[in-house]
């Protein structure tokens, strides 16, 4: 049981929990926060791992910017990519680019 956003009611929710401080179910709040923090830490580690792979790619001579483009492209439907690239070519040609 947490705290109602705007208007501050004494019981702060559907029923009073035993260990409340200022009407806050402290342990529930703490558990929510700590679980988010753990997952954020894991996510941060994954981001670092991804970064390491790009460092590896660069040292292997690959162009990281282009590798990222490939990864973005692989997330999309080929037909959609093709239609977009066709249109881009038409616009570029029309503009003399």
Residue 43 as a binder of its own copies (CB under 8 A): the answer is yes
Alpha helix locations (H) across the chain?
Answer: 26-59, 64-74, 78-94
Instruction: Check if the beta carbon of residue 29 is closer than 8 Å to that of residue 9.
Output: no
Computed on alpha carbons and rounded to an integer, the radius of gyration of the chain in Å comes to 26
Residue 42 as a binder of its own copies (CB under 8 A): the answer is yes
Task: For residue 97, give the DSSP letter.
Answer: -
Which parts of this chain interact with its own copies (CB under 8 A)?
1-6, 8, 12-14, 20-26, 28-30, 32-33, 35-37, 39-40, 42-43, 46-47, 49-50, 53-54, 56-57, 60-63, 65-67, 69-71, 73-74, 78, 80, 83-84, 86-88, 90-95, 97
């Amino acid at each position: 049981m947490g705290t109602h956003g705007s208007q501050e009611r004494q019981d702060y929710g559907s029923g009073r929990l035993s260990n409340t401080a200022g009407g806050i179910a402290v342990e529930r709040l703490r558990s929510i926060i700590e679980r988010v923090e753990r997952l954020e830490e894991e996510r941060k580690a994954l981001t670092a791992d991804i970064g390491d792979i790009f460092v590896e790619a660069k040292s292997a001579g690959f162009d990281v910017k282009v590798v990222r483009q490939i990864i973005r492209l692989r997330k999309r439907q080929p037909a959609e990519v093709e239609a977009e690239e066709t249109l881009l070519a038409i616009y570029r040609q029309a503009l003399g680019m």
